[in-house]
A and B are shown apart, each in its own frame.
Chain A
Amino acid sequence: MSHSYRAVQWNRQKRIYDACLAAGLASYLALFIGLGALVNPGATAETLVIRGLGTAALLLLHVILCIGPLCRIAPVFLPLLYNRRHLGVTMFLLALFHASFALFQYHALGDTNPLVSVLSANSRLTSVSQFPFELFGLLALSILFAMAATSHDFWLANLTAPVWKALHMSVYVAYAALVLHVALGVLQDETSPLLAGALGVGLATVVGLHLVAASLETAADRERGAGPDDWVDVCDVDRIPEKRARIATVAGERVAVFRHDGFLSAVSNVCQHQNGPLGEGKIVGGCITCPWHGYQYDPVTGASPPPFSERVPTFKVRVRARRVEVHRIPNPPGTRVEPARIEEPHVRRAG
């Protein structure tokens, strides 16, 4: 995290992440173009480059869309999420190069403006098989541009996380447009079942993972009713591992109850950075650490350690008969709440 503007906050993890990404993409493009030239010697270098960039962008978009639900299903995938924005910007650049080369190759050699040509060359809007598939690509590229342009934390901070996330959820519209762009474009001519099957498997994977994750989220959002004194029963105290949390939905939002050094503290489960799930993180160096990007908060006050200024709401917490209870009324962000002590159970000694 940072308390001042920086274009990219490089660290070792991000460098490793980006190096793997660059190496993977370079290998993919070399393999695609090399194999393409061998299998189809009639294909021109321009065609191979255009298709290589397009398939790389589409493949990367599938990976990006799968990371979110995979992290909901299994935390082992969380490291992939850490630098997902760099994946997104890279994917946009690949798509932009693909579109630029295609525009030049197919629309720039005539006497019409290439942009006018791409929008007007094919007007068979009522035909499925001959639909101007370029329009879907253009729609997707516009959305991906808006997302890449606002991907920086500057926009995240100024738009606020919920607005920013709502804007970036339009990636699903872009994904649908790209599937149609490919299905109504290259797959109309390339009749190999391998290509259609590959995209079909990708589509099934993305949709399937999202449905599984959505099902899990629905279960997690089930509200816990409060007692007459506004205290909500969460779980047995022994269900919370040391330095970890238990998440419960209280008064419409998720609350994370952390156990630390014999005490319990409850804070909002929503990280102020990208609304990551704080309760799925752990306490590192005395601070709750978000599993997504490492933003930290004091479990007692809900405030980030100086010089950082992020704060999350806190909740009163108590232990009754080894049951953890949280008060349903949140405190203002950054409010100190005395942690609840966990009394060790009495052990009857023999003799």
Chain B
Amino acid sequence: MIRELRRRHRLTAVGLALLLPPAYVVALASRAPVPLVARPLPAALGEPLLALTSGRVRLPAQSVALALGRAADGSRVVELDTRGLPALPDALVYWSARDSVAGSLPDDSFFLGAVPGNAVRAYRLPAASDSGAGSLVVFSVAWQKIVLAQSLVRGAQP
């Protein structure tokens, strides 16, 4: 019986040699091509117009650069820069008219978009924000809670 076992062992070794290397090569050859040139990112705002709200704010396990400015048409724009940081795939960005937000997402929150992954992204704020008040809110869908609430009032420090 031990001789039969040895024979089966040899057959297994030959089977592995014949099947596994080609399967490995096929798996590597099937890798999706990685784009050499990234898709154009939304244009950054450059120097923030309101330097007082520029800076870095803490998100869980990472730090995100935040800048506030105005677009060419005069509307207020807030910019998030997450380059070099791990992605937050479940996080969404909102604007709230309230100057201070805590706990759950306010009912009057205005959806701006998703948190960018390794990119700079600018969000156009609603006209209601022209008065200069309000807060930027980052909400985690997975955790169902606010992970960042930053007042956009002039003079507020992140």
Q: Given the known A-B contacts A42-B84, A42-B86, A179-B24, are A210 and B32 also in contact in the complex, defined by CB atoms under 8 Å? A: no
Given contacts A44-B61, A129-B31, A253-B3, contact A176 B26 (CB under 8 A): no
Determine whether A200 belongs to the interface, using a CB cutoff of 8 Å to chain B. Answer: yes
Question: A252–B1 Cα gap in the complex (Å)?
Answer: 9
The interface on chain B, measured as residues whose beta carbon lies within 8 A of the other chain's beta carbons, has a size of 31
In the complex, the answer to whether A179 meets B61 with C-beta atoms within 8 Å is: no
How far is B12's CA from A217's CA once the two chains are assembled, in angstroms?
A: 14
> Taking the nearest CB of chain B, how far is it from the CB of A173, in angstroms?
9
Contacts of B8-27 to chain A: CB distance below 8 A: 8-10, 12-14, 16-17, 19-21, 23-24, 26-27
Q: Determine whether A23 belongs to the interface, using a CB cutoff of 8 Å to chain B.
A: no
Whether, in the assembled complex, A109 has its beta carbon less than 8 Å from a beta carbon of chain B, the answer is: yes
Contact B28 A176 (CB under 8 A): no
Contact check, B24 vs A218: say whether CB atoms are below 8 A apart: no
Count, A-B residue pairs, CB within 8 A = 90
Check if B104 is an interface residue, CB within 8 A of chain A. no
Residue in A closest to B7 when the chains form the complex, CB atoms: A221
- Which residue of chain A is the closest to B84 with respect to CB atoms? A42
A214 touches B21 (CB 8 A): no
Given contacts A128-B26, A188-B32, contact A217 B10 (CB under 8 A): yes
User: From B9, which residue of chain A is reached at the shortest CB distance?
Assistant: A169
B115 to chain A, nearest CB (A): 15
For the complex formed, measure the closest distance between the CB of A161 and the CB atoms of chain B, giving whole angstroms.
8
In whole Å, how far is B139's beta carbon from the nearest beta carbon of chain A? 15
Complex partner residue of B85 from A42, A109, A196, A204, CB under 8 angstroms = A42
Number of interface residues of A (CB under 8 A): 41
Establish whether residues B20 and A187, one from each chain, have CB atoms under 8 Å apart when the complex forms.
no
Answer whether A162 and B2 are a contact pair too, CB < 8 Å, given A176-B19, A187-B27.
yes
B131 contacts the other chain (Cβ, under 8 Å)? no
Given contacts A110-B142, A218-B10, contact A191 B31 (CB under 8 A): yes
Q: Does B34 contact A (CB under 8 A)?
A: yes
* Chain A residue, CB-CB nearest to B12: A172
Q: Which residues of B contact A172 (CB under 8 A)?
A: 12-13, 16
Q: Which residue of B lies closest to A42 (CB)?
A: B86
Q: How far is the CA of A183 from the CA of B3 in the complex (A)?
A: 35
Q: Which residues of B contact A179 (CB under 8 A)?
A: 20, 23-24
Chain A residues near B27: list those with CB within 8 A: 128, 180, 183-184, 187-188
Query: Known pairs A210-B16, A214-B14, A217-B9. 9 more at Cβ < 8 A?
Result: A128-B26, A128-B30, A169-B9, A172-B13, A175-B16, A206-B16, A207-B13, A214-B13, A218-B10
30 contacts between A and B (CB under 8 A): A42-B84, A42-B85, A42-B86, A43-B86, A44-B61, A109-B143, A128-B26, A128-B27, A129-B31, A162-B2, A172-B13, A179-B23, A183-B23, A183-B24, A183-B27, A183-B28, A184-B27, A187-B27, A188-B27, A188-B31, A191-B31, A203-B24, A206-B16, A207-B17, A207-B20, A211-B13, A214-B9, A214-B13, A217-B6, A275-B2
> A: which residues have CB within 8 A of B?
41-44, 109-110, 128-129, 162, 165-166, 169, 172, 175-176, 179-180, 183-184, 187-188, 191, 196, 199-200, 203-204, 206-207, 210-211, 213-214, 217-218, 221, 252-254, 270, 275
